Structure formats: C-alpha cells, structure tokens
Amino acid sequence: MTYLGIAIQILLFLVFAVGGTIRFFQPIDVLAKRMLWVKYFDPRMVRAISMIEVICGIGIILPLVFSDSTFSFLLYSGCLLMATMIGAVITHAIIGDYKQIIGNLFILFMIYLVTFPVV
C-alpha cells in the first residue's frame, strides 16, 4: 500500500474511532447543540451509530497491524462505513443540512479509495 493510502487510513481512524468515542460519551443534549441530525434520531440510535464508527474506525487501521491476516478487516469496515456515510448524506439532505453533505461525500470518497484501491 502506498504512503498516501496509509495516511488516509490513519486519518479515517482518527475521524471515526476518536470522533465516535467522543460522540458516544457526550450527553445527547450537548451533541444536539452541535449536530442538527441528533435531534431527529432516538438517543440509542445515535449511540449505535457512534459504536459502528468506533468499531469500523479500528477495523480500518487493523490491516496495518495484522498485515498477514486472512480476514479482510478493511473490506468489511470500509463497506459498513460507506453505508453509514451514504445514510449520513441522505439524512442531511432530508433535514436540509446541506452544508454537511460535501464533507460526508469527501469522507465517503476517502473510504472508497482505501477500501477498493485502484492500483
């Protein structure tokens, strides 16, 4: 894997594993002040999304640690994160939070590049 791919993997790990952990432990009312979408979901769903982000964020970085593993951590984690980000794009479009869609699409593109490398 190229240095750019490794750098993107580390960046995605930081975005999802660290960001998801922070969102998991913050109170829902604090999250609702910063993120519009939280108001539209049940608190258990917000926590579940955070846990998916944490687990998949760790799964994105695991191939760097276990390079000889036969299990494709990157494929499964990447596909689940892509599905999550597609859901985020749809959610932001429905609730009218259009500013967030560009960022979600950019992250979706980075996940795609790491999960399905062109080279």
What pLDDT is recorded for position 28?
Answer: 95
H or E segment to which residue 70 belongs: none
CB 57 within 8 A of CB 18: yes
pLDDT score of 118: 75
Give the pLDDT confidence score for residue 119 in this predicted structure.
63
Could you give phi then psi for residue 52, rounded to 5 degrees?
-60, -45
Residue 1's pLDDT is 64
Q: Is the pTM of this model over 0.85?
A: yes
All residue ranges of the chain with pLDDT < 70 are 1, 119
d(CA 16, CA 104): 12
